[in-house]
Amino acid sequence: MCPARHTVAVAGPRILIVEDDEEIASAIARALTREGYATAQADSVAGALEATQSEHWDAVLLDLGLPDGDGLEVARAVRAAGGTPVLVVTARDEVSSRVEGLDAGADDYLVKPFDRLELLARLRALLRRSAPAAGAAPIAIDDLIVDQVHRSVRRGTRVVQTTPLEFELLAYLGRRPGTPVSREELLENVWHHDPSEPTNTVEVFVSNLRRKLEAGGESRILRTVRGSGYALGA
Ligand code: CA
């Protein structure tokens, strides 16, 4: 359980690789370094918590099976601390662990074994989503306010805490109020996934997001439009 080891110091986005399999960790670090990322590695929950508490990271790649505990503990801590995106890279591909991970604040999943290019694409998408959208006007639909500059969400005066990906989903739907957007379009443009991929990712996110949007007893604003997809507002 050594603390995070810094393998390179370059000016690119800083990525923390949390992985106890040395071979996988090194392969990921090499792939990211070649692309200009700065990486550091942690091989335990304790090491990852220390690294995330003491330094800023642009994204965290997170293995779930760690020698001293569950990686989801790290995801929860990162989420509680703010907006650093988390990409779970895991051998666990069961639906139940996916749902659990999304609740804990993971933004995306990659199931091992994964393709290097797929990893890089997902990471780029995560970083793009977490970058501030300068100058974009706030979206207001009924009592919902989606502030694209400060990346905050409110219903009336109640602040709704969202993960970076939940925010992106709201902003995407909010740019076309009341218009249904298909699951395939969302997968392609919000998740940057292959839309033909069989997955319940969108459904799980919508259900989590609704719970947050309606936590104060507010009316349903994220609607399912049968046969067409999802829409924000009437
Ligand atoms: Ca592991």
Residue 117 confidence (pLDDT) above 70: yes
Phi and psi based region of residue 174 (left: phi greater than 0; alpha: psi -120 to 50; beta: remaining): alpha
Mean pLDDT, residues 11-32 taken together: 91
Confidence of residue 7 (pLDDT cuts 50, 70, 90): very low
**Cβ atoms within 10 Å of 125's Cβ, excluding its own:** 20
Q: Length of the chain, please? A: 234
Domain shared by 36 and 96, yes or no: yes
Residue bearing the bigger pLDDT, 21 or 4: 21
Q: How far is the CA of 21 from the centre of ligand 1 (A)?
A: 6
pLDDT, residue 61, reads 96
Domain shared by 146 and 218, yes or no: yes
Residue 234 confidence (pLDDT) above 90: no
Q: How far is the CA of 129 from the centre of ligand 1 (A)?
A: 27
Chain segment 22-72, per-residue pLDDT in tens: 999 999 999 999 888 889 999 999 999 999 988 888 899 999 889 999 898
Domain range spanning residue 197? Answer: 139-232
Q: How far is the CA of 213 from the centre of ligand 1 (A)?
A: 34
Q: How far is the CA of 24 from the centre of ligand 1 (A)?
A: 9
CA atoms within 13 A on the CB side of 137: 5
End residue of a domain, out of 77, 101, 130: 130
pLDDT, residue 190, reads 85
Phi and psi at residue 84, to the nearest 5°: -70, 120
Locate 168 and state its tokens.
């992106």
Q: CA–CA separation, 37 vs 7, rounded Å?
A: 11
State the DSSP string of 158-187. Answer: EEE---HHHHHHHHHHHTSTT--B-HHHHI
Q: CA–CA separation, 164 vs 213, rounded Å?
A: 15
Q: CA–CA separation, 191 vs 184, rounded Å?
A: 10
Q: What percent of the chain has pLDDT over 90?
A: 46
pTM metric for this prediction? 0.60
Domain shared by 167 and 228, yes or no: yes
Q: CA–CA separation, 91 vs 114, rounded Å?
A: 10
Domain shared by 48 and 94, yes or no: yes
Domain shared by 168 and 203, yes or no: yes
Domain shared by 117 and 147, yes or no: no
Summary mean pLDDT of the chain: 85
Domain shared by 122 and 19, yes or no: yes
Domain shared by 147 and 124, yes or no: no
Mean pLDDT, residues 135-148 taken together: 87
Q: CA–CA separation, 105 vs 203, rounded Å?
A: 16
Domain shared by 94 and 147, yes or no: no
Write b or e for each residue in 103-120: b if 16 or more Cβ atoms lie within 10 A of its Cβ, otherwise e: bbbbbbbbeeeeeeeebe
Domain shared by 176 and 113, yes or no: no
End residue of a domain, out of 108, 130, 152: 130
Domain shared by 124 and 144, yes or no: no
Q: How far is the CA of 10 from the centre of ligand 1 (A)?
A: 27
Residue 176 confidence (pLDDT) above 80: yes
Q: How far is the CA of 101 from the centre of ligand 1 (A)?
A: 15
Instruction: Quote the DSSP letter at residue 220.
Output: P
pLDDT, residue 225, reads 95
pLDDT, residue 4, reads 56
